[in-house]
Amino acid sequence: MRTGARLLGIGVAACLTTAPASSAELKDLYFGEALYHAYQGDFFDALQRLDAELAMYHGLDEPGLDTLTYHVGQAEFSVGDFELDYRMHRRAGRAIKAVLEGAVDEAVRNEAAYRLAKIHFEKGQLDDAVEALARIQGKVPVEIQDDVEFLRASVDLAMGKPAEAVTVLQPLKSDPSLSGFVAYNLGIALLEEGHAEEAVRQLDAAGQLAATDPAGLAIRDKSNLVLGALLFESARYDDAKRSLDRVRLEGPFSNQALLRAGFAEAQAKQYDRALVPWGVLAEREPTDAAVQEALLALPSAYASLNLHGRAALLYGRALEQLSGQIDRVDASIESVRSGSFLTALAREESRQDAGWVIRLRTLPDAPETYYLMELMASHEFQTALHNYLDLEGLRSKLAAWKTGLDAFDDMIRLRGVNYEPLLPEVDAQFRELDSRMRLRLEQKKNVGKRLHAMLTAPRPEYLATAEERIAGERLAAIEKKNSDPATARRVAHLRGVLTFRLETEYHERLTAAFVHLKALETDVETLERQYDDFVRARQAATQSYSGYDVTIQRLRRRVEDAAVGVSGLMARQGQMIETVAVHQLAARRERLAAQQTQARYAVADSYDRAARAQGAEEAR
């Protein structure tokens, strides 16, 4: 029972898997990019982007200024979600534990505890799930309140504590998104607790709930199927029939429901009515176990109605079909053993289309998958299958990266060949320009200093034009050479004129000088920008081809090691899948062989009875 309940819970929990978190107003493009990949089911790329973004965010001095800060809580949870979706439960558990142990508010911590509990539950680690659920205390976000309680009940059920599950589930009945699952689990919990009548009423209610989504419809069908079987066991055949009739004819449980509906009629000795569901079922896909049961059940109903001729014909048809199915199983086993199954799994469509398994089964060249539908429906096999596909994905990525690293090597070599002869000459020219530039900048600095000093201590002579300075120097020279008083007076007069001009035009000239200085500063800024651009371009030139050897060598080694690891694991995983598939097929073959024997005897017996009946008829 424990196993059964656990599987039920896993199925239900899978329906509750949280979709990648989205935000109404996106403020970080790289987070949006990770979501873009996740929404397409490309969780490897989503994780790669988001891990990189979070690592960068946590490495910042002031992460509060980064745009991811608006989504960081959501991003931390999304990493866990993506890891779960990429079937990395252990890492997801660690990521969520990190959130739990971080300085986060109560609601976030409780949500993290819930997610951790869900991971443990899905992996069958029930004690850890209980421990994680016990950490949920205080404020729980409204949107997960019912999910938490539902998970709590599922864990109780899986641990064989139906009474506790009933207590938790009863107040939950109103939640619309969970109503079908809650109602069903409550029915099972009541049944386990020994309240059979209450369980029947509960499952009856669960089987009549309104549902539109596939999951809701499926759980409703399952409720009706389980209820039908319970009522059948209690010999309440009419009630069982009513419940089984509510199962949709096209749903995943329809074959089982039709088979059981026929048995319910047959047990009530209503063989003619049993012909209807079994007749429908016998025309369905012959690889289904319920259909194969119906192939024998249908003629047995005719035999019970004393229609031995018809029974003999149908047994004959069953024998033919069962023999055909045995041949198909043999072909499937052969095909799986020859490696075709793994080849089929690795086909491109398996990654493009969620319904690929069903389509694969219809392909004429794919006998390897005829009998694997039920196997593929199990959680463990799905995990193995997905792991194999994930490994195949990793294998192709690693192969592409290896080629990419070779291309990087080529690119770096070519860049070196291009830049190395050019750079010495460029550097020499730059050094010359650099020294000229520094000289001019120094001059500009001195001029600026002088001009600012002149604001407090005017020095008109500093603002003389070149012509005035020459005139002043010539006057000084004449003064020095001539002692003639007339010349001295004339020189004094001219110096006075010069001084007058310098003094009267001083403020105007000082203003003009500052305007020129300002213009010079703008030019200097442009020059400095160009200088910085050059320095960056020069650094980029060197950085474009040097300093990568160690990184590339290390990466190449890691890629090669990982490729070896992936190949080894793929071989083991593939072998495991094949072994399990062959075991499953062999079990089906055994069952088919038993049915074939049964059909063979039944054909003979029916023909005998038909002949006897005909003889008796003729004798009359």
Kindly identify the residues of this chain, within the stretch 546-585, that bind other proteins according to CB under 8 A.
548, 551-552, 555, 558-559, 562, 565-566, 569, 572-573, 576, 579-580, 583-584
Helices 29-39, 72-85: axis angle to 10 degrees equals 20
3-state secondary structure 141-199: CHHHHHHHHHHHHHHHHHCCCHHHHHHHHHHHCCCCCCHHHHHHHHHHHHHHHCCHHHH
Measure CA of the first residue to CA of the last residue in the chain; give whole Å. 57
Q: Pull the structure tokens for residue 538.
A: 């020069």
Residue type at position 39: Y
Considering the complex, what minimum distance in angstroms separates the CB of residue 123 from other proteins? 9
Q: Which of 106, 127, 330, 380 binds other proteins (CB under 8 A)?
A: 380
Binding to other proteins, residues 113-132 (CB under 8 A): none
Q: Which of 12, 13, 38, 346 binds other proteins (CB under 8 A)?
A: 38
Binding to other proteins, residues 174-233 (CB under 8 A): 188, 191-192, 194, 196, 225-226, 229-230, 233
Residue type at position 253: F
Considering the complex, what minimum distance in angstroms separates the CB of residue 558 from other proteins? 5
Nearer to other proteins among residue 238 and residue 374 (C-beta): 374
Q: Pull the structure tokens for residue 127.
A: 């004690």
3-state secondary structure of 212: coil
Instruction: Give the per-residue contact string, 582-601, with other proteins (x = CB under 8 A; - = no).
Output: -xx--xx-------------
Q: Pull the structure tokens for residue 266.
A: 């047959």
Instruction: Give the per-residue contact string, 331-370, with other proteins (x = CB under 8 A; - = no).
Output: ----------------------------------------
Considering the complex, what minimum distance in angstroms separates the CB of residue 207 from other proteins? 13
Considering the complex, what minimum distance in angstroms separates the CB of residue 31 from other proteins? 8
Backbone φ/ψ region at 210: left (φ over 0), alpha (ψ -120 to 50), beta: beta
Nearer to other proteins among residue 487 and residue 553 (C-beta): 553
Helices 142-158, 2-16: axis angle to 10 degrees equals 160
Binding to other proteins, residues 400-429 (CB under 8 A): 401, 404-405, 408, 411-412
Binding to other proteins, residues 260-289 (CB under 8 A): 289
Considering the complex, what minimum distance in angstroms separates the CB of residue 101 from other proteins? 20
Nearer to other proteins among residue 122 and residue 265 (C-beta): 122
**If we measure between CA atoms, which residue out of 440, 457, 464 comes closest to residue 513?**
464
Binding to other proteins, residues 427-486 (CB under 8 A): none
Q: Does the protein bind other proteins through residue 542 (CB under 8 A)?
A: no
Could you tell me what percentage of the chain is helix, strand and coil, using 3-state DSSP and rounding each to the nearest 5?
Answer: 80, 0, 20
Considering the complex, what minimum distance in angstroms separates the CB of residue 366 from other proteins? 19
Q: Does the protein bind other proteins through residue 536 (CB under 8 A)?
A: yes
**If we measure between CA atoms, which residue out of 573, 558, 577 comes closest to residue 397?**
558
Binding to other proteins, residues 232-251 (CB under 8 A): 233
Its sign, for the CA torsion 550, 553, 556, 561, is negative
In contact, 520 and 444? CB cutoff 8 Å: yes
Q: Does the protein bind other proteins through residue 35 (CB under 8 A)?
A: yes
In angstroms, the CA 513 to CA 508 distance is: 9
Residue type at position 414: L
Considering the complex, what minimum distance in angstroms separates the CB of residue 261 from other proteins? 15
List of residues 6+ apart from 152 with CB closer than 8 A: 133, 168
The C-alpha torsion from 76 through 80 and 86 to 89, rounded to 10°, is 150
Q: CB under 8 Å, gap of 24 or more: what pairs does 132-135 form?
A: 135/100, 135/109, 135/110
The stretch among 1-9, 68-76, 210-218, 429-437 that binds other proteins (CB under 8 A) is 1-9
Q: Which of 394, 423, 437, 517 binds other proteins (CB under 8 A)?
A: 394
Instruction: Please state, in angstroms and as integers, the Cα–Cα distance from residue 83 to each residue in 74, 123, 194, 222, following that order.
Output: 14, 14, 40, 30
Considering the complex, what minimum distance in angstroms separates the CB of residue 4 from other proteins? 3
Q: Pull the structure tokens for residue 214.
A: 């596939």
Q: Does the protein bind other proteins through residue 514 (CB under 8 A)?
A: no
Using only the alpha carbons of the chain, give its radius of gyration.
Answer: 43
Q: Which of 106, 238, 374, 521 binds other proteins (CB under 8 A)?
A: 374
Helices 162-169, 142-158: axis angle to 10 degrees equals 160
Q: Does the protein bind other proteins through residue 398 (CB under 8 A)?
A: yes
Considering the complex, what minimum distance in angstroms separates the CB of residue 406 from other proteins? 13
Q: Which of 14, 17, 41, 431 binds other proteins (CB under 8 A)?
A: 41
Residue type at position 568: G
3-state secondary structure of 200: helix
Nearer to other proteins among residue 237 and residue 271 (C-beta): 237
In angstroms, the CA 30 to CA 40 distance is: 16
The stretch among 20-28, 140-148, 208-216, 330-338 that binds other proteins (CB under 8 A) is 20-28
The stretch among 96-104, 109-117, 317-325, 378-386 that binds other proteins (CB under 8 A) is 378-386
Going through 266-414 in order, the beta strands assigned E by DSSP cover none
Q: Please state, as a whole number, how many other Cβ atoms lie within 10 Å of the Cβ of residue 557.
A: 10
In angstroms, the CA 326 to CA 328 distance is: 5
Its sign, for the CA torsion 408, 410, 411, 415, is positive
Backbone angles phi, psi at 186, to 5 degrees: -65, -40
The stretch among 108-116, 134-142, 340-348, 398-406 that binds other proteins (CB under 8 A) is 398-406
Binding to other proteins, residues 50-109 (CB under 8 A): 51-52, 55, 67, 86-91
Q: Which of 208, 387, 542, 598 binds other proteins (CB under 8 A)?
A: 387
Q: Does the protein bind other proteins through residue 543 (CB under 8 A)?
A: yes
Considering the complex, what minimum distance in angstroms separates the CB of residue 7 from other proteins? 6
Binding to other proteins, residues 294-333 (CB under 8 A): none
Considering the complex, what minimum distance in angstroms separates the CB of residue 32 from other proteins? 3
Nearer to other proteins among residue 535 and residue 611 (C-beta): 535
Contacts with other proteins by CB under 8 A: the residue count is 92
Q: Which of 10, 12, 13, 47 binds other proteins (CB under 8 A)?
A: 47
Q: Which of 186, 375, 599, 602 binds other proteins (CB under 8 A)?
A: 375
